[in-house]
Every structure is written in structure tokens, then in C-alpha cells.
Structure 1
Amino acid sequence: MDTKPKAFLFDLNGTMINDMVFHNHAWHDILTKDLGANISFEAVKKEMYGKNQDLLERVFGVGHFAQEQVDQISIEKERRYQSAYKKHLELIAGLGAFLDKAKSSNILMAIGSAAIPFNINFVLDNLDIRSYFKAIVSAEDVVNSKPDPETFTKGAQILGVSARECIVFEDAPKGVEAARNAGMKCIALTTMHTKEEFDSYDNIIAFIEDYNDPILEKLF
């Protein structure tokens, strides 16, 4: 970047914590055993972006479930995910120190996630990191989920910064696409996807496996 960023916007799942395989298992279990869908584990992985309702609509079609059913399925899926993942809950390597450095450098931080507050609170409160973030944008705060830019543009608006002053941290191609649609540069984590899966996006300034990567020093 030509100028130092004023804000970091973080996706949550797969970006701050390496939990996406637990979501994958929970969704696959719900979709196949509870709801009778004929879908593979790998196919579920490709559908895990946006809101829970969006995923259900992609698999079963719009209007297949009443809203009350969608809400019940969604919360049951998150209960199963949290039960399986809680004993493994930890920040991706290096992120704790990275958050401290960003805070001491007066870089504003926000979370922009398609997760529901139930899951965001599970992470922030169990890891005691809520104080780092001046804005939290969840699935309930937007009309259109990723790859629509609303999640990130709303986060930047709350922080009072422009798109060009933001760096987005994402692990999913659709999240990177949302950042691009918002006019934001992105750092992609390869926790669940290979570099090749991001080939169509021109807004990625770096790929990292975790937050110990020395390339992150260039952000400060």
C-alpha cells in the first residue's frame, strides 16, 4: 500500500479462529442426517458463506423452510458447532500479538462476519478480545451478506474511515469478493482454501498462513 491503513476489518470464522472444519461437520450433519439432503462434505464446504438462511436456500431452494424453521435449524447447527469446537477454541497463531500491535499503533479494528451474534459472542467473550473492536457487524446487521460489500462498508462507516484506508482479513473467496466490491484491499488466510482458489481476485495484497508472517510488518 502507498499509505498506512487506518483500519483493519476482520472476518471471524477461519480468519481469527481456525474453526471452519467444525462448521463444515455441523452443517453436513444437520443437512444430511436431520434434513435429508444428498450433499457431500466437500459440497457443503463450498456453500459455507453468507448467512445461514442463504446456505439453506442454496441447498433446498427459496421458501422450502418457514422462517421459524430456518431460525431453529440455524441455532441448532450453532449449538452443535460450539459444543464440538469449544475445547479447541483459540486465536490463530500470532493474532493476539498482532491485535496488541494494531491497538498500540492506533489502528481501528472491526469485525465483519456473516455469523450470528450467538457465535460472535461465543468467540469474543471466551477469548476475552471484545475490547479490541470498535465495531461489530454480524449477519443480523446487514440486508445482504457476502459477497455483497455491505458487511465491510458498514464496518468502515461505523469506524469513520474510507474504503481505501481499510485492510480486510478474510479466509474465503466470497469474503475477498465482498472486500473487492467494497473497494478494499485484502489479506487472505489460507486456513481453508488454497491460493489458487483466489485467482480471480485482484484486491489481495498478501497470503498468510497465520499472523506470525513477517509481511504483516509492512502494515505498520
Structure 2
Amino acid sequence: MGKISACIFDLDGVVVDTAKYHYIAWKSLANELGFDFTEEDNERLKGVSRMRSLDILLEIGGVELDDKTKLELADKKNKNYVEYILKMTPDEILPGVKDFFNELKEQGIKIALGSASKNAMTILNQLELTDYFDAVVDGTHVSNAKPDPEVFLKGAELLGVSPSECIVFEDAEAGVEAAINGNMKCVGIGSPDVLGKANIVVPGFVGFSMAQLNF
């Protein structure tokens, strides 16, 4: 393995699981509109923008609305979601993440966040993790969605390191592709079936250490 100076983490599904809150917020919107929205339906929204997610939801319910109403509904869903995440506590950090962050700090390796979420700072504050991060790049800083590498390249730039010295931790296929497109190494968090393009795939951070990063 070459020199590693920085690790860049996606947020949802890597550091914390906020997917359940997105699901609850979308489901309550669907119920208000008079139809049900299952966890299986929710799989179709993974890694998809808010407006496109709403279109898929309306498609499932067979509902057609004008653009103004759609914007109002997307906003309503986000407000619901934010209410849920404002109740989050540090015990929702995924197992092993904090231990790994502490190991990185001890080894002098920089840590950045690379997330499409526009609520990333709120979540980090709720989890009391903000101080671990040397740089945070979220949905308010980027215009291109993954698999475009913009979010990770901005992270490397803010940390002052070259992309080839970064390892990205991702749980989504588009995120793994974004890392590869940015000339970065990648660790997939989840299933090898989905994340097979990553350099290595692990189920999570429990018992995981830098020693395993032997690319």
C-alpha cells in the first residue's frame, strides 16, 4: 500500500444509519396522500436526490401533481426528517466507528466527510462527532452527485492531500464509483455483491483497523 494521509467517509450507512428516518418521513408523506409506501419501495430511493425520490414515490402511488405542490411536499418531507435527526444521540453512531476514528487520530491520519446530505453538520453535531473531522464536504458544497468524484476531491483539497493518498469509506455503489473516478482507494462497507468494485469490502467497523488496509 502506498502512503495514506487521509480517510474520507460517507455519512449515511457508514458512520450512522439515517436511512430509517428518511423512510419514516417518506412513508408518512405517502400515507397523507392516501397510499402506502413499503420498505421494499424505499430501496428504490437509495442514493437518489430528494426531488427524484418524490417522483418515484408519487409514481408508486399513481399520483400526479404540479411542480409547485411537489416542491412544497419535498420541503415538508425534509422538515419531518430534520425533526427526527434533531432527536438523534451519540449512541446511534454505528458500532466500531469511533474506535477507528481514534486510531486514525493516533496515527496522524486526517479525517474528512464526503456526503450528499445537506443535513450532515446537524447530524455530526447530534452525534458529537464534529471535532473528529478536519474537513466536512456535504450537499451544500457540491453540485455534482456521485458517481461524480466532486465531493471526495473537494475533501482531499480541503485537507491539502493528493487523491492518491486518500481512502474513501462508502456503502453505496455510486459512492464506490465516485472514489475510483477520483483516483482514490475505496473500502466498501456492506455487501461484496453490491460493492465489488471497492478495493476491499467489510461488513462494518467492529474489529476493523488500519492494519487491514493492505491494498
Q: 1:14 & 1:136 partners in 2: Cα distance?
A: 17
Of 103, 112, 115, which aligns to 1:113?
A: 115
Q: 1:92 & 1:132 partners in 2: Cα distance?
A: 15
Structure 2: runs of 5+ lacking an equivalent: 60-64
| Residue 79 (structure 1) aligns with | 82
Matched, 1:137 2:137: yes
For 1:74-106, what per-residue CA distance to the aligned partner results, in whole angstroms no more than 9, with x for missing partners?
Answer: 5224235426x7268522111111111101211
For 1:126-172, what per-residue CA distance to the aligned partner results, in whole angstroms no more than 9, with x for missing partners?
Answer: 22211111111111111112222111111111111122111111111
Contact 1:50 1:147 in 2 (8 A): no
Q: 2:136 & 2:91 partners in 1: Cα distance?
A: 20
Q: CA RMSD in A?
A: 2.8
The code of the aligned residue for 1:197 comes to: V
Structure 1: runs of 5+ lacking an equivalent: none
**What TM-score, normalized to structure 2?**
0.81
Contact 1:50 1:146 in 2 (8 A): no
**What TM-score, normalized to structure 1?**
0.80
Contact 1:169 1:186 in 2 (8 A): yes
State the percentage of identical aligned residues: 30
Matched, 1:177 2:174: no
| Residue 20 (structure 1) aligns with | 19
| Residue 62 (structure 2) aligns with | none
Call closer, same or farther: CA 1:58–1:142 in 2, change over 3 Å. Answer: farther
Secondary structure of 1:18's counterpart equals coil
Of 209, 212, 215, which aligns to 1:218?
A: 212
Comparing 205-214 with 91-100, which one deviates more in the overlay? 205-214
Contact 2:6 2:109 in 1 (8 A): yes
Contact 2:15 2:93 in 1 (8 A): yes
| Residue 151 (structure 2) aligns with | 151
For 1:7-53, what per-residue CA distance to the aligned partner results, in whole angstroms no more than 9, with x for missing partners?
Answer: 100011110013323322322332x2245677643232232214423
The code of the aligned residue for 1:46 comes to: R
Q: 2:144 & 2:128 partners in 1: Cα distance?
A: 29
Q: 2:56 & 2:167 partners in 1: Cα distance?
A: 29
Call closer, same or farther: CA 1:182–1:65 in 2, change over 3 Å. Answer: farther
Shift of 1:217: 2.0
Shift of 1:58: 5.4
Q: 1:180 & 1:57 partners in 2: Cα distance?
A: 29
Q: 1:163 & 1:207 partners in 2: Cα distance?
A: 20
Q: 1:90 & 1:214 partners in 2: Cα distance?
A: 18
For 1:162-193, what per-residue CA distance to the aligned partner results, in whole angstroms no more than 9, with x for missing partners?
Answer: 22111111111121122122222211111xxx
Q: Which protein is bigger by CA-based radius of gyration?
A: 2
Number of aligned residues? 208
